Amino acid sequence: MASIYYEKDTSLQPLRDVTVAVIGYGSQGRAHALNLRDSGIDVVVGLRRDSASWQTAEADGLAVDTVAGATQRGQVVMILVPDPAQPAVFAEGVEPHLEVGDLLLFAHGFNIHFGGLACPPGIDVGLVAPKAPGHRVREVFVAGQGTPGLIAVAQDATGSAHGRILSYAHAIGCTRAGVIETTFAEETETDLFGEQVVLCGGVTALVRGGFETLVEAGYQPEVAYFECLHELKLIVDLMYRGGLKAMWHSVSDTAEHGGYEGGDRLVTAETREEMRHILADIQAGRYAERWVAEYAAGSKELLRRRDEESRHPIESVGATLRSMISFLGKASRVDEQTVSSVGSAR
Ligand code: NAD
Ligand code: MG
């Protein structure tokens, strides 16, 4: 049985008299920095001098400094630059300025687990990984709720690492939903598997494949869009609230009967075998090697694919239909903002 922590299990006390340096102001960085600030914690954002985010962070009312300057000012340092950029940012701006007793944090275990960077002795090293994209981490916090999160301790030099890490998770709102104790290995491997197989890779491939099959067969793209993409949210909302069972309960018996049959035909023994191959690639570090090499070569393949995906007919059909849905106005503006803020590969 997993150890799960809630608000009653922690407090902001360990962060009261410290400054938290948040390195990077992208998807997670902005959410962490603003949530910490609203929890009454002293925050400084660390960025490159030429970073476009510098002005954004200042306009949000935050103190901003260079990566080195912020690390010097902070006793807690959260690294929120893209995973493949972290080793260089750490070596140049963070490591030389860490002091004995500091707490170094990550939101994904990638570099600690795969050896991209090594932490010096004398400091605490931990993980606080919210299980949501950054804009949701902020949005639900503002609404008085929280994002579930994972925490882990990689190094406990002070003897109080666990309490400090949990306090950080509390300050960004995670204990409102539940914080699960894990290890860097488990978080890293399950996070990569989840995004590749189910959340990002699996779902988009299924949506696109379904849409293309209907359009190829001569059905209207608008109908295919509603069927294969729009309705997904309604289905996921049911699963989110009450598990798969609640979804099966809410749909018609016809949908349930056909759903069991279709699901079994799609996710076959062969599909499961491929899932195990993907997991093996992740566990052996082969996936991490590919991504780090791709990033080092300028993310050319990622950018090519991003461009190709953005020109898929499902995007133009969707943009038109969404602009006509009265209640989507605000939500789609949030999406556009998020897309542009994380719109480049580095
Ligand atoms: P991001 O791409 O949104 O933001 C990166 C930020 O770092 C930007 O401000 C960018 O300007 C800055 N940056 C980029 N390269 C830099 C460099 N070389 N030097 C200094 N600054 C640089 O990143 P993100 O998606 O927020 O990811 C940050 C961390 O959070 C990663 O470890 C990621 O795995 C983890 N995480 C992300 C999500 C998510 O939903 N995005 C969820 C959980 C955990
Ligand atoms: Mg410091």
111 lines ligand 1 (CB under 6 A): no
107 lines ligand 1 (CB under 6 A): yes
Residue 127 CB partners (closer than 8 Å, separation 6+): 105, 106, 107, 108, 109, 112, 150, 151, 152, 153, 154, 165, 182, 184, 187
Specify whether the CB–CB gap between 346 and 85 falls below 8 A. Answer: yes
pLDDT, the chain, mean: 95
What gap in Å lies between CA 60 and CA 33, rounded to an integer? Answer: 10
pLDDT at 330: 56
pLDDT at 334: 47
pLDDT at 339: 46
Mean pLDDT of 144-148: 97
Ligand nearest to the CA of 192: 1
Mutate to test the pocket of ligand 1, among 80, 112, 140, 299 (most ligand atoms within 8 A of CB): 80
Mutate to test the pocket of ligand 1, among 22, 23, 25, 27 (most ligand atoms within 8 A of CB): 27
Q: Which of 21-30, 34-43, 136-145, 323-332 has the lowest mean pLDDT?
A: 323-332
pLDDT at 237: 97
pLDDT at 135: 96
pLDDT at 328: 81
Residue 344 confidence (pLDDT) above 70: no
Task: Using alpha carbons, list the distances in angstroms from residue 36 to 22, 24, 56, 77, 138.
Answer: 10, 14, 17, 13, 10
Residue 331 confidence (pLDDT) above 60: no
Residue 335 confidence (pLDDT) above 70: no
Let me know if 312 is a catalytic residue. no
Nearest C-alpha to atom 33 of ligand 1 is from which residue? 108
Specify whether the CB–CB gap between 1 and 52 falls below 8 A. Answer: no
Residue 273 Cα, ligand 1 centroid: separation in angstroms? 32
Ligand 1: which atom is nearest the Cα of residue 106?
Answer: 32
Q: What is the pLDDT of residues 115-124, one digit of tens each?
A: 999 999 999 9
Mean pLDDT of 186-199: 98
Confidence of residue 327 (pLDDT cuts 50, 70, 90): confident
Burial classification of residue 255, based on how many CB atoms lie within 10 Å of its CB (0-12 exposed, 13-18 middle, 19 or more buried): middle
82 lines ligand 1 (CB under 6 A): yes
Mean pLDDT of 223-242: 97
What is this structure's pTM? Answer: 0.92
Task: Using alpha carbons, list the distances in angstroms from residue 235 to 207, 240, 249.
Answer: 13, 9, 11
